[in-house]
Amino acid sequence: MEQAHSQSERQVYSLFDITESITRMFRKHYAMPFWIRAEISKLNLYPHSGHCYPDLVDRQQGKVRAQVRGIIWRDDLFEITRKFESVTRESFREGINIMFLAYVRFSSEYGLSLQIIDIEPLFTLGELAREKLLTIERLKKEGLFNQNKLLEMPLLPSRLAVISAETSKGYSDLRVTLENNVSGYRFHLTMFHALLQGDGAVESIRRQLLAIQAQKHLFDAVLIIRGGGDETGMSCYDNYALASLVAGFPIPVITGIGHSTNETVAEMVAAINKITPTAVAHYLIGRFDEFSHRIGNAAAMLEVSARLILQTASDRFAKASEDFVDAAFELIKNEQQHTDMLGREIRDNVNATVFNHRIALSRYETGISTGPARILMQSDSKIAELHRLVQVHKNHFIKQQIDQLNHTEGKVKLLDPVNVLKRGFSITRLNGKALNGNAKPAAGDELETETLSGKIFSTVFNKELS
Amino acid sequence: MKKEINYTQAITELEAIVSEIENASIGVDELSEKVKRAAELIRYCRGRLTATEKEVNSILNNLGNDENIQE
Amino acid sequence: MKKEINYTQAITELEAIVSEIENASIGVDELSEKVKRAAELIRYCRGRLTATEKEVNSILNNLGNDENIQE
Amino acid sequence: MKKEINYTQAITELEAIVSEIENASIGVDELSEKVKRAAELIRYCRGRLTATEKEVNSILNNLGNDENIQE
Amino acid sequence: MKKEINYTQAITELEAIVSEIENASIGVDELSEKVKRAAELIRYCRGRLTATEKEVNSILNNLGNDENIQE
Amino acid sequence: MKKEINYTQAITELEAIVSEIENASIGVDELSEKVKRAAELIRYCRGRLTATEKEVNSILNNLGNDENIQE
Amino acid sequence: MKKEINYTQAITELEAIVSEIENASIGVDELSEKVKRAAELIRYCRGRLTATEKEVNSILNNLGNDENIQE
């Protein structure tokens, strides 16, 4: 090898010499197998021979920094695949990171290769879990995680885009369950074929999702249905590319992928996730049932409430009408009583008035009856009095006259000469004439003297006169 | 006495006579005459009074009887 | 007696006569006449009273009878 | 009696007559007439009262009958 | 009765008449007239009430009949 | 009745009338009018209730039948 | 019913109407209309549950064309 440094004395080896030398060195230094981790970038399975020559790469931040060809002989492959799939529930495929036990080989003919003889599936499991976690974190970080869930699920998801394998049992279950719903709901399924697991599933599903997205107005929801068959190759649903498409899908995605292990990210972000296609069908029927139930409720409530409104209105109306009639009758009755009372009052008062007038009249009548008698009696008394007065005054009058007459008579008697004679006086007459004081009888005159007892005749012989 | 004389005239004459007599302006002879006349008149008047009283009483008695009859 | 006289006039005349007799403002000659007149007046008045009483009673009786009939 | 008189006038006149008679401010001459008039007035008033009563009762009875018919 | 009168006016007038009769501020002469008027008013009021009652009864009957028909 | 009234207005008016009558804030004169109006309102309300009930029943029955046909 | 409505709007409107009727915030006047509308909505919604072949076919056809275009 020193000669190689010398320019003058150049030793030239055949290629074989060199590769043999490397081969010896590999045998010496890499005699024992190593546990190596790497990504299978390409599986390169040759079905004919049954051998597999995977391309192994080591990436850092997406950049390949090492690449080596691997060799898995048929028998090893069988054993490794069985062991891997039984633990990871994932097919031994490209794109996964594996931890494997391999001899580092160098062959003059084929160069460097890693002969894989054993595998540690737990490593891959961890890797898958890590990948899933990364996907979730990224979706959350990008705000996509809940986006599909936040879409409003149509009340009646009847136009359904189904991503499935037409021959799959899952699709068949879905179709049969939907078609045989007892309520006769109509669903329209539009089939979009896709690989649903394993290699190619991500791309296949993504392509169909994009196809659906292009005519999203025709569909109420997308169904990703997988049923029957094995449950390997499900890690595709944890794939960011697929999961992010599902999460950000403009119409609700319903998954019914059918498995018993943990939920995949795609299922997590789907609007609705049901385990089996049948469950998806029941969910859809349930939506219809719910809708139908709402309609039924509304109809029942409508009837009850409408009747109640009518009944209430009818009751209110009946009460108002009855109250009206009652009140009107009451008012009329009161007025009738009032009117009748006025009538009675008139009768009573008229009778009282007439009665009072009668009493007044009878008082006047009494006055008339007793008055005249009194007047007549008074008049009668007066006449009697006048009668008496005539009698009395007449008597008095006559007595006065008699008295006066007697008085006069007395006077006359007193002066009667006869009475003078009686007292001894006499009357002397001369020549038949009585002598008074002035008489101057002459002597010799013959005098006649009258006395009570008779006449005496004498002659004057002397006289003594004063 | 003439019939034509009435009580008033009689009394008037009588009073005149009495007055004459009282005045002693008449002589005894006339006096006697006058007294005679007065006596006549008194008699007449008395008669008239009696007659009148009788008549009046009769009238009033009849009235009284009437009254009695009425009662 | 003249028919034209009424009770009041009769009474008035009667009272005048009574007064005349009382005051002796009449003579004996008229007394008889006056008393006769008084008697006439008294009789007239009494008659009037009796007649009036009868009439009034008759009227009042009729009134009373009316009332009885009515009742 | 004149037809023109009404109850009020009649009773007023009657009252006046009764007052006159009671106060004896009425003479015998008028008494009979007055009593006659009073009797007339009483009869008239009575008649009016009876008629009014009858009329009123008739009216009110008819009214009452109306009521009965109605019921 | 004039057609223009209404129930309230009728009752008011009727009450006034009753009051007048009650206070005896009405003479016998008017009494009959007033009672006649009152009777008219009462009859009118009754008529109005009866008519109204009939109407209300008609409503009531309609109410009843309608109800029966409906049931 | 004016066409413009609706059921709610009609029942409200009816109840207002009832209240007025009950509070005796209404006379007989108005009662008559009110009775007439109430009759109209009652008739209208009844008609509307019956019609609405019929209509609603018909609609609900049809709805029920639809459901039966579907099942 | 207007063509523009979709069943989501329909059930929302239906439930709103039912709620109105339930809360008796609806009068007799509107009831009939509301019930009619509700019945329409119910019928429409019911129809949506069992959408017709025609509708589906139409979708299918459209879909088929779209698919052809895409491929």
Residue E70 clears pLDDT 50, i.e. is over it: no
User: C9 pLDDT exceeds 80?
Assistant: yes
Say what the pLDDT of residue E71 is.
Answer: 40
- What percent of chain A lies above the pLDDT cut of 90? 33
pLDDT (average), residues A306-329: 90
Q: Report the residue from C27, C32, C43 with minimal CB separation from B66.
A: C43
pLDDT at A268 over 80: yes
Write down which chains contact chain A via at least 3 CB pairs under 8 A: B, C, D, E, F, G
pLDDT (0 to 100) of residue A261? 65
Q: At how many degrees (to 10) do helices E7-22 and A277-415 cross? A: 30
- Residue in F49, F59, F67 nearest the CB of G28: F49
Mean pLDDT, chain A, rounded, equals 87
Residue A457 vs residue C67, higher pLDDT: A457
Amino acid at A219: F
- E22-38, pLDDT tens digit by residue? 887 778 888 888 888 98
Q: How many CA atoms lie within 13 A of F56 on its CB side?
A: 26
Tens of pLDDT along C26-47? Answer: 888 888 888 889 888 888 888 8
Q: What percent of chain D has pLDDT over 70?
A: 86
Chains that touch G (3 or more CB pairs under 8 A): A, F
Predicted confidence at residue B66, as pLDDT, reads 61
D70 has pLDDT over 50? no
Task: Give me the domain span that covers residue C55.
Answer: 7-70
Asked whether A259 and A231 are in contact (CB, 8 A), the reply is yes
Evaluate whether residue G53 is within a structural domain.
Answer: yes
Express as a percent the part of chain A with pLDDT over 70.
96
Interface confidence, given as ipTM, is 0.73
Q: Which residue has the higher pLDDT, A158 or D69?
A: A158
What is the band of A257 on the pLDDT scale with cuts at 50, 70, 90?
A: confident
| Cβ separation A345–E22 shorter than 8 A | yes
Q: Which of A78-92, A377-391, E20-34, G41-55 is the least confident region?
A: G41-55
Residue A362 clears pLDDT 50, i.e. is over it: yes
Confidence of residue A167 (pLDDT cuts 50, 70, 90): confident
- Write phi, then psi, for A6 (nearest 5 degrees): -85, 135
Mind listing the pLDDT tens digit for each residue in A214-231?
Answer: 998 889 999 999 876 677
Distance CA C17, CA C31 (A): 9
Q: How high is the pLDDT of residue B71?
A: 41
Determine the distance in angstroms separating the CA of D8 from the nearest CA of chain A, rounded to an integer.
11
Contact F40, F1 (CB under 8 A): yes
pLDDT tens digits, G47-59: 888 875 555 555 5
Q: How far is G8 from chain A (nearest CA, A)?
A: 7
Q: Is residue B14 part of a domain?
A: yes
Mean per-residue pLDDT, A10-28: 89
Query: Which residues of D are less than 8 Å from A361 in CB distance?
Result: 11, 14, 42, 45-46, 49
State the Rg of chain E over Cα.
18
Is residue A309 within a helix (H) or strand (E), and if so which, with residue range? helix A277-415
Q: What is the pLDDT of residue A208?
A: 94
Residue G68 pLDDT level (bands cut at 50, 70, 90):
very low
Domain containing D52 — which CATH number? 1.10.287
- Residue D27: is its pLDDT beyond 90? no
Burial pattern A202-236, b for ≥16 Cβ within 10 A else e, equals bebbbebbebbbebeebbbbbbbbbbbeeebbbbb
> Dihedral of the CA atoms G62, G67, G69, G71 (nearest 10)?
-170
| Lowest-pLDDT range of A25-29, A98-102, B4-8, B66-70 | B66-70
CA–chain centroid gap for B10, Å, is 6
Greater confidence (A230 vs C21) lies with: C21
Residue E32 within a domain: yes
Decide if G25 is inside a domain. Answer: yes
pLDDT value for A345: 87
Give domain status of residue E2, yes or no. Answer: no
* CB–CB contact D32 C55 (8 Å): yes
pTM of the full structure: 0.66
pLDDT recorded at residue A420: 78
pLDDT band at B52 (very low <50, low <70, confident <90, very high): confident
Q: How far apart are CA E67 and CA E65, in angstroms?
A: 5
Candidates C45, C52, C67; nearest CB to D32: C52
Mean pLDDT along residues A293-321: 90
Q: Is the pLDDT of residue F52 over 60?
A: yes
Q: What domain count does chain D have?
A: 1
F67: confidence class by pLDDT, cuts 50, 70, 90? low
Pairwise pLDDT comparison (A246 vs G6), residue with the higher score:
A246
Asked whether residue G66 is assigned to any structural domain, the reply reads yes
pLDDT of residue B32: 81
Q: Quick check: helix, strand or coil at residue G2? A: coil
β-strand pairing of A159-164 with A188-193? parallel
Residue at G2 is within a domain: no
Helix (H, G, I), strand (E, B) or coil at E30: helix
Kindly list the strands in the beta sheet with A221-225, ordered across the sheet, starting from the edge strand earlier in the chain: A188-193, A159-164, A221-225, A253-256, A272-274
- Mean pLDDT of the region D45-61: 84
Question: Is residue F38 assigned to a domain?
Answer: yes
| Mean pLDDT computed over A144-155 | 91
